Structure 1
Amino acid sequence: MTTLVTHSTLLTKRSLTALLRQPAFVLITLIQPAIWLLLFGALFEDVVQIPGFGTGGRSYLEFLTPGVVAMTALFSAAWAGTVYIEDMNLGVMDRLLASPVRRGAMINGTVVYQGIVSIVQTVVIILIAYAAGARFERPLVGTGLTFVSAALLTVVFAAMSNAVALLSRDQNALIGISQLLSLPLVFLSSAIMDPELAPTWLQNIATYNPLDWAVVVSREGLSTSTDWAAVWPRLGALAALAVVMSSLATQAFRAYQRSA
């Protein structure tokens, strides 16, 4: 266990060091969510006036903030596998697999790194939303739940991205699958629109959408009266899915080695 933690820490540090050496990329990862928040917030500002839009008295900006947090976590995590593709092309992956490094640590290093990036992005989004006029009734509880849900969502999709990278070994395939999943998951959720205004079939799909689970957890946490009956099952489902996807990603190393 100690070895796994040590290897995971070292690989996480490796990824963070590489990120800090690319200040332009760091800036983009922080600016893009701000653009989404301010652009969508201004564009759909009056949508809360639609009868049946259940904001509970909140502004659209307050409704939107949890959605932008989840969207940012999803989009960032979906590209996690590009690091593996680069390592494969440079021969780093083969050297790592030939070393005593634990396979689980290789997955942990990537998803922990993505989780840290997600938390930083979440902090920036909430601060921008606050500066733009959003006010949340329970900021401490809500922010804590937002961090947890965003981190779990990140683990789910970062692990999936890593598995796709290991199995396909092709950046174009990874990008294609990421694009294929990302936008539909956003629009099949309550990230930017109240699902009560959507068709019944879309509402049904949203209940099985991990992105929507994270949005609901965050939005309920930031609301005046948190519906814990809606929060705990979704947090549990996100945690269970994160474990499953991490396990599958670890197993994907075997398929990669067999086909090497």
Structure 2
Amino acid sequence: MTTVLPHSAYLTARLLRATGRQPAFVVIMLIQPMIWLLLFGQLFKRVVELPGFASGSYIDFLTPGVVVMTVLFTSGWAGMAFIDDMDRGVMDRMLSSPVSRMAMMISSVANQAVTIVVQGLIVVVIGLLLGASFSGGVLGVLIMLVAAVLLAAAFASLSNGMALIVRTQESLIGFSTMLTLPLSFLSSAMMAREAAPGWIQTVSSYNPVDWTVVASREALSADPDWSAVWPRMGGLLVVAVVAVWLATRAFRSYQRSM
């Protein structure tokens, strides 16, 4: 345990520096959530006239959903960094050194967390500029970001674990797409749960993506139902911890196949 924290800090700094050296990626990372909020906000703005929408503003409703969708489509690609390290021989050198395997996973998650917080804040600012009203204030935004980071930790870990198993970009892309798209549409990210078919409502209650959306919307509301927030936050924490643990064990599978 004494080596996990310093190793994690060093490796996180390495990943952040690598991200900073890719200006095009940074620009895309910052612009993508803005485009989603602007396009989806205009395309679906009249759906609030359907039953099930508590808010008269679709931007209010959509903003947490866009934050969560950004988590999925950002953290789902986290394993690409592992594959790049494998292709360049960096992964083998790191695994033959005393570096902590857990630190390697935690640093990837921490890098994703920084990215998600920046993107989430951009979505909030754009939402405010478009007329959104977040009655939950700073506390509500903070809870939404924490929920987003927990979801990102789970998806980034799954992406890393799968990268260690499949070891090809094409397979990882297929896995990420297969996982993120269904979970997005089986949640209330863009559509109120009450307006969805009954079977989707049932499935969404077991969907961590929906847990994140619901917890975020409640925290941002004028009168939050904390009994709906804290159990979902606890569930996200459990899912994140389990995902990190399972993904770390995937290093063994990679080493056995070397």
Instruction: Give me the TM-score of the superposition, normalised by structure 2.
Output: 0.98
> Counterparts in 2 of 1:229-248, with a 5 A limit?
229-248=227-246
In structure 1, give the amino acid aligned to 2:100: R
Structure 2: distance between partners of 1:208 and 1:30 = 30
Q: Which residue of 2 aligns with 1:203?
A: 201
- Verify: 1:22 aligned to 2:22, yes or no: yes
1:3 CA displacement? 1.4
Q: Which residue of 2 aligns with 1:180?
A: 178
1:38 CA displacement? 0.7
SS of the counterpart of 2:98? coil
1:114 CA displacement? 0.3
1:49 CA displacement? 1.0
How many residues of Structure 1 are paired with residues of Structure 2 in the alignment? 258
SS of the counterpart of 1:173? helix
Structure 1: distance between partners of 2:78 and 2:134 = 31
1:244 CA displacement? 0.3
Deviations 1:104-133 (A, max 9, x none): 000001000001100000000000100111
> Counterparts in 2 of 1:239-258, with a 5 A limit?
239-258=237-256
In structure 2, give the amino acid aligned to 1:183: L
Structure 2: distance between partners of 1:69 and 1:98 = 38
1:80 to 73, 78, 81: 78
Instruction: Give me the TM-score of the superposition, normalised by structure 1.
Output: 0.98
Deviations 1:135-191 (A, max 9, x none): 111121210111110000000000000000001111111000101111111110000
SS of the counterpart of 1:53? coil
Structure 1: distance between partners of 2:6 and 2:101 = 13
Structure 2: distance between partners of 1:198 and 1:4 = 44
> Counterparts in 2 of 1:70-219, with a 5 A limit?
70-219=68-217
> Counterparts in 2 of 1:4-23, with a 5 A limit?
4-23=4-23
Q: Which residue of 1 aligns with 2:33?
A: 33
SS of the counterpart of 1:2? coil
Q: Which residue of 2 aligns with 1:54?
A: 53
Percent identity, aligned pairs only, is 53
Structure 2: distance between partners of 1:108 and 1:137 = 33
Deviations 1:8-64 (A, max 9, x none): 0010000000010111100101101111101000111111112x1322x34000000
In structure 2, give the amino acid aligned to 1:36: W
**RMSD over aligned Cα atoms:** 0.8
In structure 2, give the amino acid aligned to 1:15: L
Structure 2: distance between partners of 1:8 and 1:169 = 23
In structure 2, give the amino acid aligned to 1:130: L
Structure 2: distance between partners of 1:135 and 1:199 = 29
Structure 2: distance between partners of 1:247 and 1:58 = 42
SS of the counterpart of 2:15? helix
Structure 2: distance between partners of 1:83 and 1:254 = 18
Moved beyond 4 Å, runs of 4+: none
